Structure 1
């Protein structure tokens, strides 16, 4: 199973057209990502990612409008392109149907030094659990 996060929609997420605004959609995906990289990682004893992780790139494709009346967004995430100092998170977000797919290129960051850093062994091991290839091999 991919990592699944349920994110509540807020009335303030709506725009003048009655659907969730683009910038708010990115924020909802960010909340889901924090659930994986910070909350779930900390539960498993991997707290370092919460000390510095930045988005280097984001791409989003919309498939249908996300309407506020859905009340929540289910975000399924997996990891790919896991490298020494970066990785990609893939998202599929569902309300009543798939509303968007997205990806973010993530870079671990040393806030005190003000520069990118390498992933630790513990971080790589944690992220490996959510790799699409890993998830597929466990389904077989």
Structure 2
């Protein structure tokens, strides 16, 4: 598979005084796309434990161009760059529109750690989760 595509729709309230999507709201759009992959898609493929607890350990965002809330959707392409025993790295390319031809406005990555909410501690990635994540592997370091 390699790349998971989610569509998100910025809200008018996401824009700042300069008329583009505020940086903090851009991070929220990344989260919405990540939920599509790690909660919805993972559940459909039997990797339900990801929805029970995953925390962001690191976030890196690079802005190339402004995003706008113009009523349309943005295309967010996600792939897994690295899978380790207790964390994985998810890469994002946010396009300024709904198609693969739209220019990339934002690139980002999150380092995510599975988390056991009951014990309040990080946990290891299960074999089922590893298989699910490997389906979206981009071919970079680690899997």
Q: What interval of TM-score do these two structures reach, taking the shorter chain for normalisation?
A: over 0.9
User: Can you give the 5+ residue segments of structure 1 that lack an aligned partner in the other structure?
Assistant: 135-140
Separation (CA, whole Å) in 2 of partners of 1:16 and 1:4: 29
Q: What does the per-residue CA deviation read over 1:48-94, in whole Å, with 9 as the maximum and x for residues that have no partner?
A: 10000000000000000111126221100000120010000000000
2:69 is the alignment partner of 1:68: yes
TM-score of the pair, normalised by structure 1: 0.92
Q: Is the 8 A contact 2:10 2:68 kept in 1?
A: no
1:32 and 1:75 in contact (8 A); partners too: yes
In the alignment, structure 2 segments of 5+ residues that lack a partner are 97-101
2:135 is equivalent to residue 129 of structure 1 = yes
1:23 counterpart residue number? 24
- Which structure has more helix as a fraction of its residues? 1
Normalised by the size of structure 2, how large is the TM-score? 0.90
The CA distance in 2 between the partners of 1:128 and 1:35, in whole Å, is 17
CA RMSD of aligned residues (A): 1.2
- Tell me how many residue pairs correspond in the alignment: 134
